[in-house]
Structure 1
Amino acid sequence: MTLQPPSSPQVTAEVPAPRPLPLKVALPMAVLAGLALLVALPPYGLWWLSPVGVALAGAAVHRRRLRAGFGLGFVAGLVLFVPLLVWTSFAAGWLPWMLLSFAEAVFMGLMGLAFAWVSPLVDRWRWAWPLVTGLFWVTMEASRDRAPFGGFPWGRLAFSQDDGPALRLAAYGGAPLVTFAVAAAGGALLALAWRAWRPTPRVRRPLGPVLGFALVAAALIAGPLLVPVAQPGSETATVAIVQGNVPRLGLDFNAQRRAVLDNHVAGTEKLAAEVAAGRQKQPDIVIWPENSSDIDPLRNTDAASVISRAADLIKAPILVGTVLRTDKPGDIENAGILWNPVTGPDREQIYVKRHPVPFAEYMPLRSIARLVTDKVDLVRNMLSGDRVGIIDSDAVTIGDVICFEVAYDDIVRDTVTAGAQVFAVQTNNATFNEAEARQQLAMVRLRAVEHGREALMSSTVGVSGFVGTDGRVHDSSGFNVAAVMVRDMRLGGTTTLATRLGHWPEMAMVALAVVALAGALPLRRRRRTTQQAGPVAGDDGTTEAR
């Protein structure tokens, strides 16, 4: 028996394991991500920076510990939401502004945590990076669109694309599909940059994946230009918007109630004179904004009298935005009511706002909030309506949406499925600023494309305007000015795929995001187990500790 000498142990040259970017790099990237997402939105309108912001945020949290992923995502969220929502402080003060901004940033933080969690999955299958990124952004927005207290959808990726090609995708999957495309493009940019980066020059990397991610990003960003949008119907109705303006912007708007009503009456009477002189078309309906009569015209005879005079002179019904008092002191309703010539208010054609804004139009947990400050009692109790906003005049069936409701997918869709031929957003921006008004108009543009219905926004102070089914704005007004606009609107049109599918595309994407989170679990366990066994070959040819 011959004894063999012991074989010499094989030595594996250790290459540093994959690591996250240094914190001194990742933190500025998170800040830049928030800034990019901010300036992509109106009033800046640099829509092409949205994918860049997504990519920067993803790079900052990739391969980090979960707590660090949350923290960096939270930082990006603060940089986005604190300046984006500054207009909320004009009416409610700095504390609600900060609380709302921090609450929205928490959702960004949770998404950062989720991205950190799935790092092993996208390291193993790099092709999944754009897909996972799109799914997680849709899931994050779906969450904050609904919670807490009914959610607050402001600042969605989809709302940054009013001038971008991705807007056209709204006709096929609504705002969630637009968000998915923008975020997936950001994921492709991130994968492209990460793949092209060479921390180890000795490792040669094929160009195929780099080119593949570049093509995916280009297709997602520019490809929607080839996508058709819905065409409106052939019948038309002549619609007028009256933007009466207010004597002064700011919190004392409510002290100017009669002056604001008089401004809208005067604007309508001026339009009537133009029509009588043949210089303007006779409108089939006139749209006044939210709070154009903050005096309840169903209870106040003076308000009713001046509105009736305006309707009689213009010889067309007026959709009046008003605040209706109830029999219980302190309870009010934010409503649109159709006011006809001669016969006056049509009590069958009243829409009461279905989604009042918490902490601004009603106070959740009032008894608990009162323990913190007695100023909660300054917030009136606005009751929510229980029917879809359909206003049916002889000439046109209008889907009525009041102010912030345009941000909520289901409220706008409900009007279209109920038979709206066009939809109108009645809003009051007098206690905010022009940036908020332009952010709201961007939402109107998306909704017009999403549902294939021409739309309008009627504001007390601006910005008001008409929007076509391709998202283009027509005859828009300035801000803090009085204006009257008249346009022939095309009625109805084809029912888009987005309208037919409703929330199902979003729910499908949320379900797939959950699958991705679950799929990362065995990979994380494997990495944790094999870290003690030494380095193993990575998917890109490097040696890494799993």
Structure 2
Amino acid sequence: MLLPVRLLLSVLGGVALWLAFPGFDLWPLAFVGTAALTLATVGTRWWVGGLAGLGLGLTWFTPMFTWASTYAGLAPWIAMSVASALYPAALGVVLALLQRGGRVRPFVGAAAWAVMEQARAVTPFGGFPWARLGFSQADSTLLGAVSVVGVEGLGLLVALVGGLLALGAHRLIARRTAAAGEAHRPPARAGRPLGPAWLPLVGATALVLVPVLVPRPTAGEPVTVAAVQGDIPEGFTRTLTAERGTMLQRYTEQTTDLAQDVEAGRRPAPDLVVWPEGATDLDPLHPEGGEGTTARIMDAVEAVDAPVVLGGISRQGGEDPYNMVFSYLPGEGLDRTYSKVYLAPFGEFMPLRPLLRHLSPWVDRISDLSAGTEPGTMPVPLADGRTVDLGLGICFEVVVDPAVRDVVRGGADLLVVPTSNAWFGEGHQSVQHIAASRVRAVEHGRSVVHISNVGVSGLITPDGRVHERTDLYTRATLLGELPLRSGTTPALHVGPWVPPVAAAVVVVALLLGLRRGPARTRAAGAGSRPAARLPR
């Protein structure tokens, strides 16, 4: 296969991966995208594999991350896209080494994909696990598998399906290529027979369909949740508002309106009310203005007569700012707090600030937040005497495996994702975000309250279905029953093992490939012929 053909194939694979994610929702194209890189790297040199992987990464991440340029500008968006594309580039090198014998290797190739995704999830500066393969599958028949193997394993399965598709296609092409010259070749020099092309295609189909049989139980003690999406006033941005306290006023007013509807019998009374990240733009723990802020919040809490959980930035009476969640109880006031543990690089702290301030004037508008140290488990007592154990994942924490896993291990029976998507304009970031919450709901068998200040928000049941879904840049008060569940799925224990096992598989395969290389070279010199392969 000529180099331009390989590069074209990888570029088309990157486009397919981009289109697989929410916004376009063509989830089967995730299989096509992984298959394309597999075919582009079979039987070629390592540097060609690297170029193919880079081409796939650039055409995948550059259009996917356009939302990063909403306020930050062109340079940070391009830098983010290029940095992310380096990981598929490294994957392309590994795939080329694994497949240098000229045969597609779907299983070790899928393991290599899992290693690449894990590397991107934890490096650099803590990683940015957005756009992982598993998060493209919220509407897929493959989704049921996530409760068994976790998000890490779901991504591996997506890559395995792609690898099987590539194997079937490779066998078809190689068989036709070899058939033309086989009749003119002496029988003693005939290549080893290829397996049937239909077999890996049947395997891929079965792998995609079988997970629909995995049960997704939704039974559980119901809790009535209200989630308030306040939107932002016209002309405001996420970081620049006309007057501090404007956002808090919107949420207190909207919650008071809900209380009036409940009193009038137009809506049922909520057991719990949730506001999003940054719902209060005043610090309730400030030593000077904190009492007034708390009084304004408590007016809404007393009106609705239910606990209110909300997000905001606070210095906690000190110098370091934290991204926090506060819970307020009727008749009592502030009960508990959570400080975000997994901060987003370049959004909540700024690595390489002296360098990056030359790329965008927004760099110095972003303050370095301090990280919390305890997982986001928060028990909230309800008016009827029950206690709901919330598992909090602020904004991007929902895509961070340990953040979600730790709160489930800590006993959370309801996941809450308060977020602020106004940073990212009207692109696809918000729908990709709620899709990640849907995948997490199925992974851990938990209901999820996904509440954004501008949308898209929704109440998600443990089967991954969204209820009360909102649109972008609208005001809405979501209200519905969600089941509380405390049991754990196999994914809680299996998921963390997927990356290290995949890494071991890749390392062993590479070492075996190095040992077999000289032997194959000697065999070729003795007159034997390797298996049929695509031309370079």
TM-score (norm 1): 0.89
Query: Mapping of 1:369-448 within 5 angstroms?
Result: 376-395=363-382, 396-434=388-426, 435-448=428-441
What corresponds to 1:68 in structure 2? 48
Shift of residue 218 of structure 1?
0.5
1:250-292 superposed Cα distances (whole Å, 9 cap, x missing partner)? 6454325422211111211111111101111111110000001
Call closer, same or farther: CA 1:47–1:370 in 2, change over 3 Å: closer
Query: Mapping of 1:109-508 within 5 angstroms?
Result: 109-120=89-100, 123=103, 129-197=105-173, 198-202=176-180, 203=182, 209-229=196-216, 231-248=217-234, 251=237, 253-256=239-242, 257-299=244-286, 300=289, 301-326=291-316, 329=319, 331-346=320-335, 349-366=336-353, 376-395=363-382, 396-434=388-426, 435-508=428-501
Q: Which secondary structure state, in structure 2, belongs to the residue aligned with residue 537 of structure 1? A: coil
1:151-171 superposed Cα distances (whole Å, 9 cap, x missing partner)? 011111101000001111110
Q: Is the 8 A contact 1:413 1:502 kept in 2?
A: no
Q: Is the 8 A contact 1:243 1:484 kept in 2?
A: yes
Greater displacement, 296-305 / 388-397: 296-305
The one-letter code of the counterpart of 1:199 is T
Q: Is the 8 A contact 1:36 1:49 kept in 2?
A: yes
Q: Which secondary structure state, in structure 1, belongs to the residue aligned with residue 310 of structure 2? A: strand
1:490-509 superposed Cα distances (whole Å, 9 cap, x missing partner)? 11242100113351133212
Q: Which secondary structure state, in structure 2, belongs to the residue aligned with residue 393 of structure 1? A: strand
Call closer, same or farther: CA 1:373–1:82 in 2, change over 3 Å: closer
Call closer, same or farther: CA 1:45–1:81 in 2, change over 3 Å: same
The one-letter code of the counterpart of 1:94 is L
Q: Is the 8 A contact 2:30 2:136 kept in 1?
A: yes
State yes or no: 1:91 paired with 2:71. Answer: yes
Q: Any gaps of 5 or more consecutive residues in structure 1?
A: 1-20
Shift of residue 527 of structure 1?
4.4
1:37 to 10, 17, 28: 17
Q: Which secondary structure state, in structure 2, belongs to the residue aligned with residue 145 of structure 1? A: helix
Query: Over alpha carbons, which structure has the higher Rg?
Result: 1
What corresponds to 2:189 in structure 1? none
Greater displacement, 371-380 / 211-220: 371-380
Q: Distance in 1 between matches of 2:196 and 2:440?
A: 36
Greater displacement, 51-60 / 108-117: 51-60
The one-letter code of the counterpart of 1:414 is D
Q: Is the 8 A contact 1:536 1:543 kept in 2?
A: no
Q: Distance in 1 between matches of 2:314 and 2:306?
A: 22
The one-letter code of the counterpart of 2:506 is A
Call closer, same or farther: CA 1:121–1:26 in 2, change over 3 Å: closer
1:375-433 superposed Cα distances (whole Å, 9 cap, x missing partner)? 64322010001011012111311101100011111100111110101101000011213
TM-score (norm 2): 0.91
Q: Distance in 1 between matches of 2:368 and 2:516?
A: 51
1:178-216 superposed Cα distances (whole Å, 9 cap, x missing partner)? 111111010011010010111132449978521211111
What corresponds to 2:8 in structure 1? 28
What corresponds to 1:7 in structure 2? none
Q: Which secondary structure state, in structure 2, belongs to the residue aligned with residue 321 of structure 1? A: strand
Q: Which secondary structure state, in structure 2, belongs to the residue aligned with residue 517 of structure 1? A: helix
Q: Is the 8 A contact 1:401 1:412 kept in 2?
A: yes
The one-letter code of the counterpart of 1:212 is L
Call closer, same or farther: CA 1:208–1:427 in 2, change over 3 Å: same
What corresponds to 2:505 in structure 1? 512
Q: Is the 8 A contact 1:90 1:250 kept in 2?
A: no
Q: Distance in 2 between matches of 1:27 and 1:145?
A: 26
1:483-530 superposed Cα distances (whole Å, 9 cap, x missing partner)? 001111111242100113351133212221222222221233344556
Q: Distance in 2 between matches of 1:277 and 1:543?
A: 73
Q: Distance in 2 between matches of 1:312 and 1:169?
A: 43
Shift of residue 543 of structure 1?
12
Call closer, same or farther: CA 1:187–1:252 in 2, change over 3 Å: closer
Q: Distance in 2 between matches of 1:413 and 1:543?
A: 44
Shift of residue 372 of structure 1?
7.8
Shift of residue 472 of structure 1?
1.2
Q: Is the 8 A contact 1:437 1:462 kept in 2?
A: yes
Call closer, same or farther: CA 1:66–1:535 in 2, change over 3 Å: farther
Shift of residue 297 of structure 1?
1.6
Call closer, same or farther: CA 1:110–1:208 in 2, change over 3 Å: closer
Q: Distance in 2 between matches of 1:232 and 1:225?
A: 15
What corresponds to 1:47 in structure 2? 27
Greater displacement, 475-484 / 389-398: 389-398
Q: Distance in 2 between matches of 1:527 and 1:76?
A: 31
Q: Distance in 2 between matches of 1:506 and 1:54?
A: 18
Aligned-residue identity in percent: 36
Q: Distance in 2 between matches of 1:65 and 1:49?
A: 26
Greater displacement, 96-105 / 405-414: 96-105
